[in-house]
């Protein structure tokens, strides 16, 4: 059992429902696919993809595709894109015929996810050689209801010869005209649009640090869905990945969602918690007017801080699904373990403050990053 699972949830349900995908009963496969969508665990991606390729039940296919879309990640997304483009079907002699149901399920699942990139993914497929692919993406673009697709849909309508596809394109265009404006991605919370309107807005030129701090502000206001989406953007920008992955998990937990482990972290996923907690501690110390840096990142991360004229090193490591911490005061070449009564029988007021910070580090609310970023070396 990995560190994320220990902290955020059980792995038993995941494995049980993965086994359920192999059931001969379509009702069981359907139930397991829906459960795995809620659990949103990356371990289910490969079994779900295998089920999607092999299954012929329309409801099961749709549930499996939705589960893959919800779990997300590059592998699942690319698989659904390939399925939308007709990669799954039947070979008859030397001819290949894409499966209508597979194309439709994959395209609609990506559209229902509300990913704004879907317009760029789908519009070229309006001119695909296979009619089922064109029909599926036309339907999916109607679900997205994004006006950026309007010109592409109009062009496709003028060129399309198949009655089914033309009817679907016309329906999607009619939906766009009725709406009259580009929609916001679907929100899990009914008042998310109002929350965003009242939230502090990021700068027009958004660096990863500015976006991270925008997400922190949203989190502090209790706008967890908007915060979660913002930390996904930070993660995708390629910076602050450990911090944004972990705080996204905190948002998911607040929303009652299953926690997703970004597959891009790979073997470093286990270190995300300690890196985030140490980073957040350093940021908290800086907001209090002191100097701090994240001087070690990994399974045992460290913060070095200058507080009231004394130099301290605080270590954060993971332990049984939580965090273990310790602190030392540096005096010349010596390191004094300040929580140890034998090594430090008369702790100073600052020592007690640092001990308190270390003890609270795992449950501190998110703090904003310094504008210039968090230093990773001590000077």
295 by DSSP, 3-state: which?
Answer: strand
322 by DSSP, 3-state: which?
Answer: strand
Asked whether the predicted pLDDT for residue 368 surpasses 80, the reply is yes
198 or 136: which leads in pLDDT: 136
Q: What tokens does 103 get?
A: 């194309």
**Highest-confidence segment of 93-102, 257-266, 299-308:** 299-308
pLDDT of residue 88: 83
**Are 134 and 165 a contacting pair, CB within 8 Å?**
yes
pLDDT of residue 192: 38
> What average pLDDT does the structure give for the chain?
84
| pLDDT-wise least confident of 12-16, 176-180, 239-243, 344-348 | 176-180
The dihedral formed by the CA atoms of 111, 114, 117 and 120, expressed in degrees to the nearest 10? 40
Per 3-state DSSP, the chain is made up of helix, strand and coil in percentages (nearest 5) of 60, 10, 30
Q: Is the dihedral of CA 128, 132, 133, 138 positive or negative?
A: positive
Tens of pLDDT along 40-75?
888 899 999 999 998 989 999 999 999 999 888 888
Read off the DSSP letter of residue 319. Answer: E
Give the residues across from 334 on adjacent strands.
Answer: 331
Asked whether the predicted pLDDT for residue 1 surpasses 50, the reply is no
Element of type H or E holding 221: none
- Domains of the chain plus CATH, in order, are 3-179 (1.25.10.10), 192-260 (1.25.40.10), 271-379 (no CATH)
pLDDT of residue 14: 84
**Are 42 and 261 a contacting pair, CB within 8 Å?**
yes
Asked whether the predicted pLDDT for residue 320 surpasses 90, the reply is no
What are φ and ψ of residue 343, in 5° steps? -80, -25
Q: Could you give the CA distance from residue 86 to residue 130 in angstroms, rounded to a whole number?
A: 8
pTM of the model: 0.51
Please, which pLDDT band fits residue 8 given cuts at 50, 70 and 90? Answer: low
Tens of pLDDT along 223-268?
888 999 999 999 998 889 999 999 998 888 778 777 877 888 888 8
Per-residue CA distances from 208 to 11, 271, 291, 360 (Å): 32, 20, 22, 26
324 by DSSP, 3-state: which?
Answer: strand
348 by DSSP, 3-state: which?
Answer: coil
Element of type H or E holding 182: none
With tokens 């949203």, the residue in question is: 218
pLDDT of residue 319: 62
């Amino acid at each position: 059992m990995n560190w994320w699972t220990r902290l955020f949830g059980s792995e038993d349900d995941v494995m049980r429902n993965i086994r359920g995908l192999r059931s001969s009963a379509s009702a069981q496969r359907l139930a397991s696919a829906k459960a795995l969508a809620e659990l949103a665990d990356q371990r289910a991606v490969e079994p779900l993809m295998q089920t999607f390729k092999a299954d012929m039940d329309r409801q099961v296919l749709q549930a499996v595709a939705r589960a893959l879309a919800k779990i997300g990640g590059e592998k699942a997304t690319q698989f659904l894109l390939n399925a939308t483009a007709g990669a799954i079907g039947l070979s008859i002699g030397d001819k290949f015929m894409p499966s209508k149901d597979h194309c439709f399920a994959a395209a609609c699942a990506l559209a229902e996810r509300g990913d704004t990139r879907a317009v760029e993914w789908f519009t070229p497929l309006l001119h695909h050689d296979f009619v089922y692919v064109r029909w599926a993406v036309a339907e999916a673009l109607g679900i997205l209801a994004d006006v950026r697709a309007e010109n592409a849909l109009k062009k496709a309508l003028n060129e399309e010869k198949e009655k089914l596809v033309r009817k679907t394109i016309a329906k999607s265009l009619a939906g766009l005209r009725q709406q009259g404006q580009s929609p916001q991605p679907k929100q899990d919370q009914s008042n998310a649009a109002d929350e965003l309107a009242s939230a502090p807005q990021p700068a027009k030129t958004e660096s990863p640090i500015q976006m991270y701090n925008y997400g922190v502000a949203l989190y502090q206001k209790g706008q967890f869905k908007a915060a979660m989406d913002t930390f996904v953007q930070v993660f995708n920008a390629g910076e602050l990945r450990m911090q944004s992955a972990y705080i996204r998990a905190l948002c998911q937990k607040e929303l009652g969602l299953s926690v997703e482990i970004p597959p891009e972290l790979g073997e470093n996923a286990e270190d995300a918690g300690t890196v985030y907690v140490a980073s957040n501690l350093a940021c908290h110390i800086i907001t209090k007017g002191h100097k701090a840096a994240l001087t070690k990142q990994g399974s045992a991360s460290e913060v070095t801080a200058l507080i009231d004229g004394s130099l301290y090193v605080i270590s954060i490591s993971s332990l049984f699904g939580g965090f273990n911490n310790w602190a030392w005061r540096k005096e010349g070449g010596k390191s004094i373990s300040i929580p140890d009564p034998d090594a430090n029988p008369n702790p100073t007021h600052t020592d007690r403050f640092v001990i308190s910070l270390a003890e609270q580090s795992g449950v501190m609310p998110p703090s904003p990053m310094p504008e210039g970023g968090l230093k990773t070396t001590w000077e």
